């Protein structure tokens, strides 16, 4: 799925593996897309804290995600775009950094369960909730 950027909540449903949301996440991720290192860090935090993964389990889970998706580093340009997004749209700053990464990588869709479904950012990035 060219042009897709994923918030951490979408690949995290793969850790469940049994729900309707896990099936939907697996389908979306199978088409490829982009994540940032920030998203990997958020997944690691939730995997350890909420899901109680061991380091070995977490490393294997993250390796699978990295093999399916293109990962971009957090850059000064992403940071500056996040500042602009925060000023314009008033999202929480870490969400702004995800939006900034999606904009900087020229994605046209940001898949997130936690943001405003259908909102178009800067006339070129549409936020979509994959579970509605």
Phi, psi of 104 (to 5 degrees): -65, -25
Task: Put the strands of the sheet holding 34-36 in their side by side order.
Answer: 70-72, 34-36, 4-6, 109-111, 125-128, 120-121
Q: Using one digit for the tens of pLDDT, what is the confidence trace for 64-118? A: 999 999 999 999 999 999 999 999 999 999 999 999 999 999 999 999 999 999 9
Sign for the pseudo-dihedral over CA of 113, 94, 60, 110: positive
Q: Which CATH class is domain 4-128?
A: alpha beta
Q: Using one digit for the tens of pLDDT, what is the confidence trace for 20-79? A: 999 999 999 999 999 999 999 999 999 999 999 999 999 999 999 999 999 999 999 999
Contacts of 14 (CB under 8 A, 6+ apart): 22, 25, 26, 29, 61, 64, 65
Instruction: Please report, for the chain, the start and end positions of each structural domain, with discontinuous segments joined by +.
Output: 4-128
Contacts of 62 (CB under 8 A, 6+ apart): 40, 43, 44, 47
Q: Structure pTM? A: 0.93
């Amino acid at each position: 799925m060219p042009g897709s950027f994923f918030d951490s909540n979408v690949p995290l449903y793969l850790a469940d593996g049994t729900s309707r949301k896990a099936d939907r996440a697996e389908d979306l991720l199978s088409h490829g897309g982009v994540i940032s290192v920030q998203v990997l860090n958020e997944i690691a935090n939730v995997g350890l804290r909420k899901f109680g993964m061991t380091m070995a389990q977490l490393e294997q889970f993250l390796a699978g995600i990295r093999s399916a998706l293109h990962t971009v580093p957090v850059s000064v340009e992403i940071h500056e775009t996040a500042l602009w997004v925060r000023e314009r749209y008033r999202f929480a700053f870490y969400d702004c950094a995800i939006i900034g990464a999606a904009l900087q990588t020229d994605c046209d869709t940001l898949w997130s369960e936690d943001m405003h479904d259908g909102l178009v950012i800067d006339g070129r990035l549409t936020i979509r909730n994959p579970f509605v």
